[in-house]
Amino acid sequence: MTAGSIWQQVEFGSYAADLPVWLDLADSVGGPVLELGAGAGRVSVHLAGRGHEVIALERDNELTEELEHTAERIRAPVTALTADLTAPGEITLPQPPALVVGPLHVIQVLDTEARCRLLTWLLDAMAPAGTLALTVVDEENLLSAGASASRILPDMREVDGRVYSSEPLWVLVGDDTLSVRRVREEVSVDGAIDRNIHDELLYRLSPARLEAEATVAGFEVAGRRAVDSGPREADSIVVLLEKPR
């Protein structure tokens, strides 16, 4: 496993609160599913394991290769592509997806200009009447979770005898961004400790603003779904959008 994959598994590998939403949408919509920011394949592998054909886009080439190996090993119908969501015009899909999902706030990694560029490209790339489902942070819940982060146990995982932990410290709220700070710690087999600070930067984006941007791009608003993540994670809101027929 690569370092990026390990930390993805530590911090997100056990997160499953959103999986029923993606599976329900995939079962309802049918057709190929496109995942934005697939990482090591938490969502893609879950959907493919239940019979759905998945196209997975991931910026990190090492993660893409690992996802390919995972899909081959378990014989899951996943096509993994290395792709930069800030340059969607350079992405070529094997077929138009009927469902596009953006888990774990991947849409908030993009600034306003990049988001609008991606939305415009998705409208053209998707199948007619396709569904676009994008997750945004429930900010009220996130701030509450951040304020009590000291009471949240770190995410932990052992890989090849090494113990990895990631402990949330706080959430810094700016005018336009949210910065989530974690302490990442790796304990080697012989007990040596490597500790560093990791900041995750997200652009603030309300469901209403995302819906407005998507409407300008040509999508139709199709509702919202709440994701209750439990006491260890901030809750999320899935914004549902549809491409006109």
Domain 140-202 adopts which CATH fold? N-terminal domain of TfIIb (2.20.25)
Q: Is the pLDDT of residue 215 over 70?
A: yes
Rounded-to-integer distance, Cα 62 and Cα 239, Å: 30
Residue 159 has pLDDT above 90, yes or no: no
Strands 236-242 and 162-173: what pairing?
Answer: unpaired
- Residue 32 in tokens: 């190929």
Percent of the chain scoring above 70 in pLDDT:
93
How far apart, in whole angstroms, are the C-alpha atoms of residue 239 and residue 222? 8
Lowest mean pLDDT among 9-18, 70-79, 124-133: 9-18
| Half-sphere exposure (Cβ direction) of 163: Cα atoms closer than 13 Å | 9
- CATH 3.40.50.150 domain span(s) along the chain: 3-138+206-242
Average pLDDT over residues 50-75: 93
Tell me how far apart the alpha carbons of residues 209 and 245 are, in angstroms, rounded to a whole number. Answer: 23
The pTM of this model reads 0.90
Query: Mind spelling out the 3-state secondary structure of the chain?
Result: CCHHHHHHHHHHCCCCCCHHHHHHHHHHHCCCEEEECCCCCHHHHHHHCCCCCEEEEECCHHHHHHHHHHHHHHCCCEEEEECCCCCHHHCCCCCCCCEEEECCCHHHHCCHHHHHHHHHHHHHHCCCCCEEEEEEECHHHHHHHHHCHHHCCCEEEEECCEEEEEEEEEEEECCCEEEEEEEEEEECCCCCEEEEEEEEEEECCCHHHHHHHHHHHCCEEEEEEEECCCCCCCCEEEEEEECCC
Is residue 98 a contact partner of residue 30, using CB atoms and an 8 Å limit? yes
| Range(s) of the chain covered by CATH 2.20.25.110 | 140-202
The CATH number given to 3-138+206-242 is 3.40.50.150
* 45 contacts: CB under 8 Å, gap ≥ 6: 67, 70, 71, 74, 76, 78
- Annotate 29-48 with b (16+ C-beta within 10 A) or e (fewer): bebbbbbbbbbbbbbbbbbb
Q: Over the stretch 98-153, which tens digit does the pLDDT of each residue have?
A: 999 999 999 999 999 999 999 999 999 999 999 999 999 998 776 665 444 444 67
